[in-house]
Amino acid sequence: MILAIVQSSSILAIALISVAFMRRRSAAARHAVLTVGLFGSLAAPLVGSLLPDLGSIRFAPDGLYARIQDQAELLENHDPDRTSVKSNGASPSAEPSQASAAMSFWVWLAGIGVAAAVLLAAIGRILWMTSRSEPLRDARWLSAASGVSRDLALKRAVRLLKHSGDVLGTLGFVRPRIFLPRDADRWSDERIRIVLTHELAHVQRFDWLVQLLAEIGRAVYWFNPLFWLACRRLRIESEHACDDVVLNAGFDARDYAAHLLEIARELKHSGRMWAPVMSMSRAPNLERRFIAMLNPSLNRRSLTRAALLAICVLGLGVTLPLAAMRAPEELPPLLTAAPKVLTVAHAAPEPETTQPLPPAPKPKPAPMQPVPAQALGDLTGTVSDPSGAVVPGVRLTLTGIDQSFEEAKTDEAGRYEFRGLRDGLYLLSANLPGFVSASRRVEISSGQPVRLNFTLTLGSVAQAVQVSAVGLRAPAPVEPRRIRVGGNVVAARLVSAVKPVYPADARAAGIVGMVNLQGIIGVDGTLTGLRVLSGNRTLTEAAMEAVRQWRYQPTMLNGEPVEVITDIAVEFELVQ
């Protein structure tokens, strides 16, 4: 047992030290090193008997082990009622050591029993969650899941389950499942794509299986702090790696941070699920994730097959020599030798004195020092639009590290203020219909007042048109791509639209699909700068010909017309 502890601890310690020196590497690489170290620490005690003996653990008779054994024998052979221990006396009984070993075994087994009870309770909770969930049939979610799976080259089918509570997380290996909250069907298209990209990245990277093995290893080696540290670091690195996947998919870091913060605030109970459930909005380490995703200098590369193979080879190079080590078959001579003859002299007791000793003077209590109060700081500022004019009625949310938040609104002069803030790092978000949401990090230190001004940008306008015709669909329809939906600018309104005509040759060929266009609504309401984002060439010509004739009511900002970007989605489908 001791040899297994030494082997597993050595491998895990090497993995943790290696990760500490890999700060310039990506989170995916650090997670892979921890995973290989975890597998090695669990496999080394099991495969050691299958490997050739590379050496045994020896104990030098004059080394540290010998000195410790000498002190142990001195304590075992010492009897307060006798002045000496004869050499021909009975040797120290083996019963105390056997009882101690049995006690240690039962304590270890009791710890495993507690951990097994926790795992069984977690399995019951998963079954209960599944029974209270139903398949999500929202077309937006299913279409987005299909597109994200295709982008990530994910071959396994993933079930989307809508839970009756505030739960968001991923679990499962053979048949992975994603639990979604009850109001998920009201989320925006961008948030749906972000959440699915993050959760399906967990499925693609087998994070749930790795975390489950880490939890099992921690249950077996519950007394070893290295396994507790490895479980924690594995979860942290897996979340950072999935954040990198989301950012590499083209999402803006600030928008992603704002969505993640809003999800964490809405789903306060999502982090209470069983530990192996990969929860996207788990509150611990959210601040580190925000700092990492907003740092453009970090390495966000995904792990290549060559790099993964190199990590596995290095892991085998460390694991196999340690697994092949053997404990000595015979105990060292120091353990089997006869007990030494010890002579212990007892000093004569001193006579009792007849006069009582004077009582010791009581120490005077030290005067209490006043505790200085913590300095509180203020956060103030103004919110303006692109023209420089102030914007009243903007809702501002200030969120702290502990997930506590305060809200305020700008007054008629566009000013806002937060008073009496404790020192720490905060995330300030500004939201107003018609404008793009903005988020900024701010730090309150030493009670110093901080002033932070916002400049909001106008959101884009999106239009969608569906063109239907009678015909047969082609066997391989084109999947629609993701489109960006901006703010709802009320003033920008479509007043005249010409519906596209389904091309005859496309209808005969059974071509269907989505055409995504982007243009600029000018100050006179005309559509300029129209360009194609995606779509079939035959369908694109028909969509462009019709959309060029559209007319809008221009967007008004402070009484003046301004230009605004609009996204237009034209869907061509065949009805049988």
Mean pLDDT within 338-342: 42
CATH no., domain 461-575: 3.30.2420.10
**Contact between residue 521 and residue 492 where contact means Cβ atoms under 8 Å apart:** yes
Pick the range with the lowest mean pLDDT from 118-132, 241-255, 459-473: 459-473
Mapping DSSP to helix (H, G, I), strand (E, B) and coil, where does residue 330 land? Answer: coil
**Contact between residue 527 and residue 566 where contact means Cβ atoms under 8 Å apart:** yes
Segments of the chain assigned to CATH 2.60.40.10: 377-455
pLDDT of residue 271 exceeding 90: no
65 Cβ partners below 8 Å, 6+ apart?
59, 332, 334
Pick the range with the lowest mean pLDDT from 65-69, 152-156, 157-161, 264-268: 65-69
**Using 50, 70 and 90 to split pLDDT, how confident is the model at 273?**
very low
Mean pLDDT within 430-449: 82
Token pair belonging to 144: 């987005």
For position 318, what pLDDT does the model report?
86
* Block residue for tokens 């899941």: 145
* Block residue for tokens 């509570």: 165
**Using 50, 70 and 90 to split pLDDT, how confident is the model at 480?**
very low
Token pair belonging to 320: 């196999």
**Using 50, 70 and 90 to split pLDDT, how confident is the model at 157?**
confident
262 Cβ partners below 8 Å, 6+ apart?
none
Pick the range with the lowest mean pLDDT from 79-88, 158-167, 323-332, 464-473: 79-88
pLDDT tens digits, one per residue of 203-233: 989 888 898 888 888 888 888 899 889 888 9
* Block residue for tokens 């010492």: 78
Pick the range with the lowest mean pLDDT from 31-40, 42-51, 82-91, 352-361: 82-91
Mapping DSSP to helix (H, G, I), strand (E, B) and coil, where does residue 450 land? Answer: strand
pLDDT of residue 329 exceeding 50: no
For position 531, what pLDDT does the model report?
85
pLDDT of residue 152 exceeding 50: yes
Segments of the chain assigned to CATH 3.30.2420.10: 461-575
DSSP state string for 81-97:
T-SEE-TTSPPPPSHHH
pLDDT of residue 373 exceeding 70: no
For position 280, what pLDDT does the model report?
58
CATH 2.60.40.10 fits 377-455, yes or no: yes
**Using 50, 70 and 90 to split pLDDT, how confident is the model at 282?**
low
Token pair belonging to 412: 């008629």
Tell me the one-letter amino acid at 194. Answer: I
pLDDT of residue 39 exceeding 70: yes
Mean pLDDT within 548-557: 82
For position 197, what pLDDT does the model report?
93
**Using 50, 70 and 90 to split pLDDT, how confident is the model at 30?**
very high
**How big is the CA angle at 28 (ends 22 and 29), to the nearest 5 degrees?**
40
pLDDT tens digits, one per residue of 53-102: 554 444 444 444 444 444 545 444 444 444 443 444 444 444 555 677 77
Q: What is the mean pLDDT of the chain?
A: 76
For position 245, what pLDDT does the model report?
92
For position 163, what pLDDT does the model report?
79
